[in-house]
Amino acid sequence: MDERNFTYLFYGFSAAWILVALYIVSLVLRERKIRSEIDTLRRMIEGAKE
Amino acid sequence: MREKIMIVLAAAAALIITWVLYRILFIVPDEKDQGAVFRIIYFHVPSAMTAAACALAAFVSSILYLARRNLSYDAAAVAVTEGALLFGAVVLVTGMIWGRIIWGIWWTWDARLTSTLVSWLMYAGYLMLRRAVEEPTERARNSAVFSIFVFPGLYITWKSIEWWRTQHPGPVLSIRSGGGMAPGMESPIYINLLGLLCLAAVLAMLRYQQEQRRRELDSLRRTVHAM
ipTM given for this complex: 0.91
- Measured between beta carbons, which residues in chain A are less than 8 angstroms from residue B89? 19
More confident of the two residues B185 and A32 = A32
User: For B202, which residue in chain A has the nearest alpha carbon?
Assistant: A24
Residue B165 has a pLDDT of 81
A27/B90 touch (CB, cutoff 8 Å), yes or no: no
pLDDT, mean of residues B6-33: 93
Q: Quote the percentage of chain B above a pLDDT of 90.
A: 78
Residue B226 has a pLDDT of 86
Distance CA(A31)–CA(B193), nearest Å, equals 28
In this model, does residue B140 exceed pLDDT 80? yes
**Nearest-CB residue to A4 (from B35, B98, B220):** B35
A44/B101 touch (CB, cutoff 8 Å), yes or no: no
A16/B93 touch (CB, cutoff 8 Å), yes or no: yes
**Nearest-CB residue to A16 (from B90, B210, B220):** B90
pLDDT, mean of residues B6-22: 96
Quick one: which of B119, B112, B115 has its CA closest to B168? B112
B207/A4 touch (CB, cutoff 8 Å), yes or no: no
Residue B171 has a pLDDT of 81
A48/B98 touch (CB, cutoff 8 Å), yes or no: no
How many pairs of residues across A and B have Cβ atoms under 8 Å apart?
Answer: 93
A11/B97 touch (CB, cutoff 8 Å), yes or no: yes
Residue A41 has a pLDDT of 94
B40/A9 touch (CB, cutoff 8 Å), yes or no: yes
Least Cα separation, residue A40 to chain B (angstroms): 10
Band of pLDDT at residue B5, cut at 50, 70 and 90: very high
For chain A, which residues make up each domain, given as ranges?
21-50
Global pTM reads 0.93
Distance CA(B217)–CA(B223), nearest Å, equals 10
Dmax (CA) for chain A in angstroms is 72
pLDDT digit string (tens) for B174-210? 777 766 777 778 899 999 999 999 999 999 999 999 9
In this model, does residue A39 exceed pLDDT 70? yes
> Three-class SS of residue B131?
helix
**Nearest-CB residue to A44 (from B26, B213, B224):** B224
- Measured between beta carbons, which residues in chain B are less than 8 angstroms from residue A48? 227
Band of pLDDT at residue A29, cut at 50, 70 and 90: very high
Question: Angle at the Cα of B34 (from B28 to B39), degrees rounded to 5?
Answer: 40
